[in-house]
Amino acid sequence: MNGKDLRTTPHRRWNPLLREWVLVSPHRTQRPWLGKVEKVAPSQAMEYDPECYLCPGNVRAEGVRNPAYSETFVFENDYPAMLPNVSYSEMDQEGLIHARVERGICRVVCFSPRHDLTIPRMEQGEVRQVVEVWTEQYRELGELPWVKHVQVFENRGVLMGASNPHPHCQIWANGEVPNIPVREQAAMREFLEANETGPTPMHSLISHNAGWTTSE
């Protein structure tokens, strides 16, 4: 195979991080499409929306009022996917229903007080401030003795499940490492051990200890 085949010919491609084969059908992009076509979302024209739960000074759904923030703003998620103050417990019903309590912290990061300002449209200094907040949060949460994984992510747009149009992201700190990072960590470690002469082509492994693996 060559580079052209990768763009035109059906093939299985190896995912080195998850260590599994994935079917790729590039020629399918040429088929006619009569299915649903999404309309372009209207631009957020206003800098401040009095009805928005995330804008400065507004009251959120649970009754907490946002401060009149003028830069990147972080707060505990009012509807978190995980809770920090839960006791560990486990159940196993004959191997059919097996569950464990998952402890965690969920936070929301508003990039800017402006309701219409996404990261691609920010000035360089504003973007730097957002990145610095991510770094501070990562370090703060990662230093908690029971936290094993911290993830910063953004669900952008209605189709991705964003519940509010004000530009923001989420930070989750888990008491256990999620499945995909566990597999990726094992794959990177295996590749590194087999190729000790240089960095991996997948990620550069920055540091590793018994509880954490950091890569870029």
| Helical (H) or strand (E) element with 205 | strand 205-208
208 classed as catalytic:
no
Quick count: other Cβ atoms within 10 Å of Cβ 149? 20
Tokens 């094993």 correspond to what residue?
148
Residues 10, 172 contacting (CB under 8 angstroms): no
17 vs 70: CA distance, rounded Å: 40
- Which candidate in 115, 166, 168, 203 is catalytic? 168
Residue with tokens 């631009």: 43
**Three-class SS state of 104:** strand
As to burial, measured by CB atoms within 10 angstroms (0-12 exposed, 13-18 middle, 19+ buried), residue 60 is middle
Write the burial class of residue 164 (CB in 10 Å: 0-12 exposed, 13-18 middle, 19+ buried): middle
The residues that are catalytic are 168
